[in-house]
A and B are shown apart, each in its own frame.
Chain A
Amino acid sequence: SAVISQKPSRDICQRGTSLTIQCQVDSQVTMMFWYRQQPGQSLTLIATANQGSEATYESGFVIDKFPISRPNLTFSTLTVSNMSPEDSSIYLCSALPAGGGAEQYFGPGTRLTVT
């Protein structure tokens, strides 16, 4: 398993600004992911954070809006850029531990409110 922490846990931001969310894993993992969870909706994958290379984005999500970094095997950041109220959501980081299993482990989430 893996223990994942996220910062900040919540924030209230003004439209037009940007917020960077940090994700730290307590052990080396093979893959890291960023999800969005909107009220009443399922978790939606934003992108896979690739170590040392550009993230792989899902349909409907673009790098200019959600730039992602992964400088090493245990840390990643997601930036929500030029925010609008529609970006209000919970953002979750997950990781796939080394060892062959397919289960992803999730951080506690970052609750973002854009006013």
Chain B
Amino acid sequence: EVVMTQSPATLSVSPGERATLSCRASQAVSTNLAWYQQKPGQSPRLLIYRASTRATGIPVRFSGSGSGTEFTLTISGLQSEDFAVYYCLHYYNWPRTFGQGTKVEIK
């Protein structure tokens, strides 16, 4: 099983600043990685797939990078609606596994 490790667990950021979230895989998953945003009481929302491709309707301030075992989600110019929990998910093999999540909170 591929173990996905996200860091940090919590990220305190001021509105307008940049947030950088990391996701590390215990073995190489190529670019078979997606990022999701989840707000309280809501289901997850797809942000990024194939490590760096923005999903339909996702603002350009969200960007993803990486391949193999190291991945990054960057949110440039955080807006109030971006404060949420973010998860990475690999889809390289079975079982799929999520990272434990990074909570982006207002500083």
State yes or no: do A and B come from one complex. no
Chain B residues packing against A (C-beta within 8 Å): none
Chain A residues packing against B (C-beta within 8 Å): none
